[in-house]
Amino acid sequence: MNKLRTCIIGCGNIFTMHATPVLSFEDVELVGVCDIKADRAEAAGKRCNTAFYTDYRKMIAETHPDVVHVCLPHYLHPIVSREMMEQGIHVLCEKPASIRLEDTISNIELAKKQGVQYGIIFQCRYNTASKLVKQYIEDGTLGKVISARSVLTWCKPDTYYSLSDWKGTWDKEGGGVVIDQAIHSMDLVNWFIGANPVSVYAHLDNRGHEIMEVDDSAEGYIKYDNGATYGFWAMNNYGCDEPIEIRLLCEHGKAVLSYDEAIITLDDGTVIRRDQSTVDQMEYENSKKYWGSQHVTQIRQFYNSVLGKETLEISGEEALKIQKIVCAVYESSRQGKPVLFEQ
């Protein structure tokens, strides 16, 4: 069998969520891993029994991959993704696609021109609870979303920022709790609503992290062109990582989602519970519960798209939808007034 050759750039926290699935796929060979921190590159290479590098350009030149996973600080996502796609390499990039909308847009165009797949990780869409709720919205059981709300209370202590050379900075992370953590729940809700945003009115603050400069608290309100509304609240200076909670009021009932659990209550009194994942749980070393376990499902879907077996679900274009909202959240907070989207 001709295996797809894969490299991973960035051997930090999220590395294991990419390497473990890749190593489990029979049709994929991990041919190299890279981190500018030599100790991380070496540890990752030895763990995965593959070549390790501290210079990604050298790795690409020597290993000739078909696919590259970009697991880097946010500001490097568009730069490295672009470099890979220019060489005809398929790219699977961690969220967000970039900090600036224009960079994502130009990379979407480049992917089309080069005929390569450009995927962005939003693994929460692959939770069984998320998929069930989306299905019930689309098949009319729940019907369209009228109102939604999400609440995120996570714990990012000062060391989360002091031990990182990029987190907590405007230029390298591009923001804080919204662009890094709440982006997942906001993407889910935006996907459930499935309409175009009309306006975003948000307020961000840093209330508990003197050590860093970006937002650790956020609240906002989004209106959609089908009449749906979405209110979100997020903070990462809570005392522990509580499950995210999403509530949806739909035409024919309500849904409550938390991690991979959902309770759907229809107006006729029917209650549907999705409280245990039916998807195979992969064991990831050093993973965090709140990341969920569905990287493997999304990564497999990406490889199937590279092999021409499926259409890529979360492409750059799909990821651009939530990035537009995230950028509008920051802009609204800066301006202190609603930001309107061009219709």
Ligand X SMILES: NC(=O)c1ccc[n+]([C@@H]2O[C@H](COP(=O)([O-])OP(=O)(O)OC[C@H]3O[C@@H](n4cnc5c(N)ncnc54)[C@H](O)[C@@H]3O)[C@@H](O)[C@H]2O)c1
Q: Which stretch binds ligand X (CB under 6 A): 11-19, 42-50, 261-269, 321-329?
A: 11-19
Residue nearest to ligand X (CB): 12
Query: What distance in Å separates the CA atoms of residue 95 and residue 72, rounded to the nearest whole number?
Result: 10
Q: Beta strands 67-70 and 90-93: pairing type?
A: parallel
| Cβ nearer to ligand X, comparing 56 with 330 | 56
Query: What distance in Å separates the CA atoms of residue 248 and residue 145, rounded to the nearest whole number?
Result: 6
Should residue 116 be labelled a site residue for ligand X when binding is judged by CB under 6 A?
no
Query: What distance in Å separates the CA atoms of residue 158 and residue 164, rounded to the nearest whole number?
Result: 10
Query: What distance in Å separates the CA atoms of residue 328 and residue 20, rounded to the nearest whole number?
Result: 35
Smallest separation (angstroms) from ligand X to the CB of 98: 10
Query: What distance in Å separates the CA atoms of residue 218 and residue 202, rounded to the nearest whole number?
Result: 7
| Cβ nearer to ligand X, comparing 243 with 338 | 243
Q: Which stretch binds ligand X (CB under 6 A): 68-76, 189-197, 207-215, 234-242?
A: 68-76
Buried b (16+ CB within 10 A) or exposed e, 232-253: bebbbbeeebebbbbbbebebb
Closest CA to 192 of 161, 230, 157: 230
Q: Which of 107, 123, 130, 141 binds ligand X (CB under 6 A)?
A: 123
Q: Which stretch binds ligand X (CB under 6 A): 10-18, 25-33, 130-138, 269-277?
A: 10-18
Q: Which of 7, 16, 19, 74 binds ligand X (CB under 6 A)?
A: 74
Should residue 78 be labelled a site residue for ligand X when binding is judged by CB under 6 A?
no
| Cβ nearer to ligand X, comparing 121 with 204 | 121
Which parts of this chain interact with ligand X (CB under 6 A)? Answer: 9-14, 34-37, 40, 56, 71-74, 76, 94-95, 121, 123, 164, 180, 291
